[in-house]
Copies of this chain bind each other. A is one copy, B any other.
Amino acid sequence: MKDTGRLEAELKKKGYKLTEQRRLIIEVFSENPGHHTAQEIFDLAKRKLRSINFSTIYRNLELLSALDIINKLYIESGTSHYELCGGTHHHHIICKGCGETREMNICPYESLEEEKLNELGFKVTDHKFKIYGYCSKCRP
């Protein structure tokens, strides 16, 4: 039994149901830390529940993102990547050569002055910061 706690709570709060597949998706993320594509999650999940369907994966990755249980990244390769939330807040540095994505604990948001933000007139919900470059293997 995994820490179904958070998941169950968030789902119930909005009238969603706690299904085997939802539990499984979270389980797969827990057991495989890091960033994953829908395809990867599907493959991993399928090993444990042969009947699971790709649509279900997509629908739930979307839902879980909306619930802030997972985080949808756009590693700009045409394919979205997802990671479990709840780790420490972090951002990413991405190699343009091989696509390797490393986490950074640097967060530039924290040092922004509130007045500058208010000035924008937005109700801010979140932010993303990415650095691009070449890792040691990929120096061109």
Measured CB to CB, the residues of A under 8 A from B are: 72, 74, 76, 93, 95-96, 102, 104, 106, 108-109, 111-112, 116-117, 120-136, 139
Contact = CB atoms under 8 A, between A and B. Distances in A.
* Interface SS of chain A: strand
The quantity of this chain's copies bound in the complex is: 2
Contact of A133 (B74, B76, B125, B128): B125
Nearest to A76: B74
Given A74-B76, A106-B112, A109-B108, A139 B127 contact: no
Contacts of A95: 122
Which among A74, A117, A122, A126 has the greatest number of chain B C-beta atoms within 10 A?
A122
A93 to B, nearest CB: 6
